Amino acid sequence: MNEIVVSAGSPAGITMTHLRAEAVLRKVLTAFERESIACVAVKGIVTAYELYSQIGERNISDIDLRIGSRDLDRVESIVQAERWELRWRSRAYSNIVFRVDGMSVDVETMIGPPGLCAIDVEAMIARSKWAESAGGCRRRQPEIHDHALLLCINIFKDKFTGAFAWSIEDVERIAKRSEFDVERFIALTREGRVEAIVWVVADWMATERGSVAWRAIRDRIGASPRPLYAWLLGRLRRDADSSLAFRVLARMASDSALAWPRALYGAAGWEIEARRRGAE
């Protein structure tokens, strides 16, 4: 009898990974619910079902969840009680990464790095909806404009070309949804003090990816809200996206200068934590 081998990167292999992720998500959500921890699932564990005709079209590398900042210590206690493998806990970025049955779970308390977006996760959870995946996993998932903003900021955080191809595809697809409202989305970017970030991402999606949907968003915003910032960021991204100057400038992306000290402090704290972890 011939053994059937499924490649991990094939649609069938990706589908199997999604089913495994769903099983892990059920375990995690059950543990969270016992402790009354509200959370919302984001990125691939949601977009594969919402934006693609088949989940095997959208790769997945981990499970991404968002919770309120006050619940992070309780999540760590759950990880210890369940004897899941704790991989990383960042005080600077207020997140925790652990593994369950070989699958990484990334739990964060912010939309993007600290000091970047003024919308807190509690507000995103309040606007979220309950949904059940095709695999039967019931979970909260973001309102479409909240999710689009989170995905957009994720592209920015990963310096555009450093983002996974499927993350960029998510950003392209979500803006094409019939329920996506450009005006509502732009209003949300202003609430989050990230209109300049969104303009930069929309411009990149329009010029580099030929996205009609994101060109419409860019054009509706109009000229860049921070033209000098957008020009300098674009110049450094093309010529020196690993430089300290680029990293510092990227942390000053909020439209509110009052958020910049927190953003820079958080970035410095993360660097210190990463070096300490590497030395262990």
Q: Let me know: does 69 contact 96? Beta carbons within 8 Å.
A: no
Which of 142, 177, 195 is where one domain is finished? 142
Number of domains in the chain: 2
134 and 190 assigned to the same domain: no
Q: Which pLDDT tens digits describe the chain residue by residue (280 residues)?
A: 444 444 567 989 999 999 999 999 999 999 999 999 999 999 999 999 999 999 999 999 999 999 999 999 999 999 999 999 999 999 999 999 999 999 999 999 999 999 999 999 999 999 999 999 877 889 999 999 999 999 999 999 998 888 999 999 999 999 999 999 999 999 999 999 999 999 999 999 999 999 999 999 999 999 999 999 999 998 888 877 788 889 899 999 999 999 999 999 999 999 999 888 876 6
DSSP codes joined into one string, 173-216 = HHTTSTT--HHHHHHHHHHTT-HHHHHHHHHHHHHHS--HHHHH
Q: How far apart are CA 92 and CA 268, in angstroms?
A: 8
Residues of the domain holding 210: 152-273
Q: Give all strands (DSSP E) within the chain, no chain letters.
A: 39-42, 63-67, 85-90, 95-100, 103-108, 129-132, 138-141
Q: How far apart are CA 142 and CA 67, in angstroms?
A: 12
Answer whether residue 31 is part of any domain: yes
CATH of the domain at 5: 3.30.460.10
